[in-house]
Amino acid sequence: MKLGALYAGEACLLPRVWKAAGTLDRMRGLLGRPPLQPGEGLWIEPCASVHTLGMRYPLDLAFVDAQGRVKKLVHGISPLRLASSIGARATLEANAGQLAACGLNVGDQVAWRELGK
């Protein structure tokens, strides 16, 4: 996995966001990993649907299209659930409440950027 941050324009929304780029990283997601801390997230690309089977805590999800526009937000999805968005290219996973706290809204333009690049 690669470490980066999530931006809306030049504003950093989440300073520590890992990108699951490989097939195995995308399939595993957050399963078996330590819980995300405030300011952290997981960017999964490509990804238009997410399951929370095996998760122990609720998540916030942001489904993002190929142009980086937030298509759909799901707040506080509980374990053992499914969520998807037709036309999404990537999904951001964060702790429940994190996306509202950073002010993310449907229609916002976002980008994951690798740290140090």
pLDDT digits (tens, 9 = 90+) for 58-74: 999 999 999 999 999 99
CATH of the domain at 11: 2.60.120.1140
Better pLDDT: 30 or 74: 74
User: Which value, in Å, is the radius of gyration of the alpha carbons in the chain?
Assistant: 13
Instruction: Check pLDDT > 70 for residue 117.
Output: no
Which pairs from 64-70 meet CB under 8 Å and 24+ separation?
64/88, 64/89, 64/90, 64/91, 64/92, 64/110, 65/89, 67/109, 68/109, 68/110, 68/111, 69/107, 69/108, 69/109, 69/110, 70/104, 70/105, 70/106, 70/107, 70/108, 70/109, 70/110
pTM: 0.93
- Weakest-pLDDT range from 4-18, 25-39, 53-67, 89-103: 25-39
The domain of 18 spans 2-114
How many domains are there within the chain? Answer: 1
